[in-house]
Structure 1
Amino acid sequence: MASERLATLPLPRTEGDPLSPAASGRIYDRVLDDILAGLIPAGARLKVGELAARYGTSTNPVREALQQLRGEGFVVIEPNRGARVRPIDESFVRDMYEINVLIEPYLVRWFADYATDADIARMEAIQDEIEALGFERHDRYDQLDEDFHRVVYDRHYNRNAVELWHRYRKTLGTISRGLTIGRSRYAARLAEHRELIRCLKQQDTEGATRAIETHVRGSGRHIIDLMRSER
């Protein structure tokens, strides 16, 4: 099938973009971006040689990137069949949100004990800007929403947890941009942000943890419901 062969896809320019064998992180990002954009479709075979030619690199960083993508669930590697792209379906999104509902409360719980007045003021300033946007500037909203959460997460000592959150956020954000998020969900997000700020101001660690768990669960349910309704 044509969809199974990467050779049928247009190769991006690689002039002026040399990639060393040690650049598996950049290859990972490029493969993941192409998967999320649909340029490498679900079920497509991922041949190491073809990917190396596609991205203008050697085979070693491609192998490392595929192993990382396998570990994160984007790629399935089967004996005698090689690597394939896993379909990004409801169960895939559910799994990501279930992991996020563990990660984000963990990050918030630590932040609640160390947040400064300046941190909370920064969150409030970002939230004010989000609310001033209304519901039309989705691209700007996404960036501000990430900025809001980064105030909370970027100071955490566990960089692996923060990086995992960021990768999942990138993936889920790409998926959600292909869906029509209802105004009621946008309004709920704003209220959930305000509740998180309120709890942090009061140094209510348990309340802040509950607030972010509600926030993550609500977003997950909404995205999965939209995927079901639009399939």
Structure 2
Amino acid sequence: MSSDRSAAALPTARHIAEALRRDIDLGRLPAGAALRQEELAARFGVSRLPVREALAHLEAEGLLVVHPNRGAFVTAPDADEVRELFDLRVLIETDLLARAAAQLTERELRRLEVLQQQLDLEDQPEEWLRLDRDFHHGLYAPAARPHSLALAASLRARVNRFYRSLFRPNQHAGTWGAEHRAILAALRHGDPDAAQRALRAHLEHTATLTLASLQAAPEV
């Protein structure tokens, strides 16, 4: 019976996790914010079971820390952790791109170019983050490496929250767009090595901006 209840609750738990992840990304839940199970259950109109499952999922992603008898809190990664996360992103995402390049079809490449055109025009942070996530996933998906893709997505989720402050007031979107187009140009010319170098430079630049944003943020 408990197994049936857990299975039935999974879609609701995923919905709750997605909503809370979005709140963290957009700064609605800042670092150090407490998440109370009873409040979340009331917010989503569910029992505590799917709430606990959602919080456990976000804890596994590194977005929350759960203290026994105290509750769940949004994590506050320090500079060393952020640097490590980006180092891992460089390793995994450049490897995925190298594997994907040989499998990338003309249709997939055109879709990436269309996504970049949409990114160039987008000025809403939430939608921009979604499009950027789709762009990077589209770069790597042809590699057909589900575990690496899941790890890349998890690492990105842990630094997404910093993109919000970097995006406003669009001061870096143009530079990121140029970096994306450099990756696409290398792929278009059949040069996966150049595409990897461009991706590495893009991620390193984003890491530098993220660390600067973290250092400028008030302590919590």
- TM-score, normalised by the number of residues in structure 1: 0.70
CA separation in 1, counterparts of 2:35 and 2:118? 42
Asked whether the equivalents of residues 32 and 75 of structure 2 are also in contact (C-alpha less than 8 Å), the reply is yes
Q: Structure 1: 5+ residue runs without aligned partners?
A: 1-19
Asked whether the equivalents of residues 46 and 83 of structure 1 are also in contact (C-alpha less than 8 Å), the reply is yes
Residue of structure 1 equivalent to 2:123: 137
CA separation in 2, counterparts of 1:153 and 1:230? 32
Residue of structure 1 equivalent to 2:62: 73
CA separation in 2, counterparts of 1:121 and 1:96? 30
Structure 1 residues 141-182: Cα deviation after superposition (integer angstroms, max 9, x where no partner): 555544433431334423344345445546644432234467
Residue of structure 2 equivalent to 1:9: none
Asked whether the equivalents of residues 52 and 59 of structure 1 are also in contact (C-alpha less than 8 Å), the reply is yes
Structure index of larger Rg = 1
CA 1:50 to 1:130, structure 2 compared with 1: closer, same or farther past 3 Å?
Answer: closer
* 1:212 corresponds to 2:191: no
CA separation in 1, counterparts of 2:51 and 2:130? 30
CA 1:128 to 1:33, structure 2 compared with 1: closer, same or farther past 3 Å?
Answer: closer
CA separation in 1, counterparts of 2:170 and 2:27? 24
Residue of structure 1 equivalent to 2:3: none
CA 1:83 to 1:112, structure 2 compared with 1: closer, same or farther past 3 Å?
Answer: same
Residue of structure 2 equivalent to 1:112: 101
**1:21 maps to amino acid:** A
CA separation in 1, counterparts of 2:50 and 2:106? 44
Asked whether the equivalents of residues 21 and 57 of structure 1 are also in contact (C-alpha less than 8 Å), the reply is no
Shift of 1:215: 0.9
Shift of 1:229: 3.4
Larger helix fraction of residues: 2
* 1:51 corresponds to 2:40: yes
Residue of structure 1 equivalent to 2:216: 229
Higher relative contact order structure (alpha carbons within 8 Å, sequence separation ≥ 6): 2
Shift of 1:119: 2.7
CA separation in 2, counterparts of 1:47 and 1:27? 13
CA 1:151 to 1:33, structure 2 compared with 1: closer, same or farther past 3 Å?
Answer: closer
Residue of structure 2 equivalent to 1:12: none
Structure 1 residues 64-87: Cα deviation after superposition (integer angstroms, max 9, x where no partner): 222221122111233554432222
Residue of structure 2 equivalent to 1:21: 9
Secondary structure of the 2:62 match is coil
CA separation in 1, counterparts of 2:211 and 2:77? 11
Residue of structure 2 equivalent to 1:199: 186
Residue of structure 1 equivalent to 2:90: 101
Shift of 1:196: 1.5
Secondary structure of the 1:114 match is coil
How many pairs are equivalent?
A: 208
Asked whether the equivalents of residues 97 and 139 of structure 2 are also in contact (C-alpha less than 8 Å), the reply is yes
Structure 1 residues 111-155: Cα deviation after superposition (integer angstroms, max 9, x where no partner): 111112333333344445655x4xx83557555544433431334
Residue of structure 2 equivalent to 1:121: 110
Q: Indicate the percent of aligned positions where both proteins have the same amino acid.
A: 32
CA separation in 2, counterparts of 1:159 and 1:53? 35
User: What RMSD in Å do the two structures reach over aligned CA positions?
Assistant: 3.3
Secondary structure of the 1:77 match is strand
Asked whether the equivalents of residues 75 and 84 of structure 1 are also in contact (C-alpha less than 8 Å), the reply is yes
Shifted more, 193-202 versus 218-227: the winner is 193-202
- TM-score, normalised by the number of residues in structure 2: 0.72
CA separation in 1, counterparts of 2:138 and 2:217? 34
